[in-house]
Amino acid sequence: MNKLKQVEDALIRADVGRVRVNEPLSKHTTIRIGGPAAILVEPNSIESLRKILAIINKNDVKWRVIGRGSNLLVNDNGIAGVVIKLSKGMDDFVLHDNELRVGGGYSLIKLVTLISRKGLTGLEFAGGIPGSVGGAIYMNAGAHGSDISTVLTKVLVLFRRGELRWLTRDEMRFSYRTSILQEKPGIVVEAVFELQKGDQKSIVAHMEKNKDYRSDTQPWKEPCCGSVFRNPLPDHAGQLIEASGLKGHRVGGAEISTLHGNFIVNVGGATAKDVEELIALVKYTVKSRYGIDLHTEVEIVDR
């Protein structure tokens, strides 16, 4: 019996949540691209997540975590190991006065909408940002001059060998679209945010304005993975790509969005290879014209 079959059987016996074999990851990414995960498991609790990691470590197989699949481009051949998807079972929500404690699998859009309607301010900037709380913390998601780190107090992280530890905001070493979790991989189990009370109507109006702006200027109604490149500040990737005349350029089923240059959309049947060819074209063109190196914000996942 090979290692993956042993892992599959152990996960099922441990009753840790839903387990699927050879699950197409195109069903779990916002750009609708990605080959199969050898095993995809959705933990139903923190304790189940710890058991999953223990089984993975015992059998020494590769693994990775996903949330709601935004900011992710998965190889056409899929992922050979175990994919842990944080969703239901990892989406607790507890609000006490101004302190919010929320699970890593909670939808960021849902969270921002709910908190705003409760008259709490601090997360309006994230109106319309897709993905999970855990993914937003991992990437220090932000918009409109603010980001997750401005309201986060601490994060409960499960590290590879089973260590469960609270990290403070300072220990997370946040910077532009970066956190320590990109250097020292771990799973965001829970997060604590410190919010402030304010005028409910103005908070909701601000959040909705940000959401509408995102909807009007970014192609989220089409399958896409979010911003492809980090902004090479003070320049902006989208402006450089547009100035290079690349908007609307296609490779296979992938297209540089005509709405926003820093987005690649799946216009039908796109493959990861199509997207990667467009990424390479953008990098080459912007470097040739402006001498600027663009670096991807989207995480490209191979086997």
Q: Active-site residue numbers?
A: 177, 227, 297
Rounded to an integer, what distance in angstroms lies between the CA atom of residue 60 and that of residue 29? 26
Give the pairing type, strands 254-256 and 250-251.
antiparallel
Rounded to an integer, what distance in angstroms lies between the CA atom of residue 91 and that of residue 86? 8
> How many Cβ atoms from other residues are within 10 Å of residue 37's Cβ?
25
Give the pairing type, strands 164-168 and 93-96.
unpaired
Supply φ then ψ for residue 35, to 5 degrees.
Answer: -70, -175
- DSSP track, 240-289: HHHHTT-TT-EETTEEE-SS-TT-EEE-SS--HHHHHHHHHHHHHHHHHH
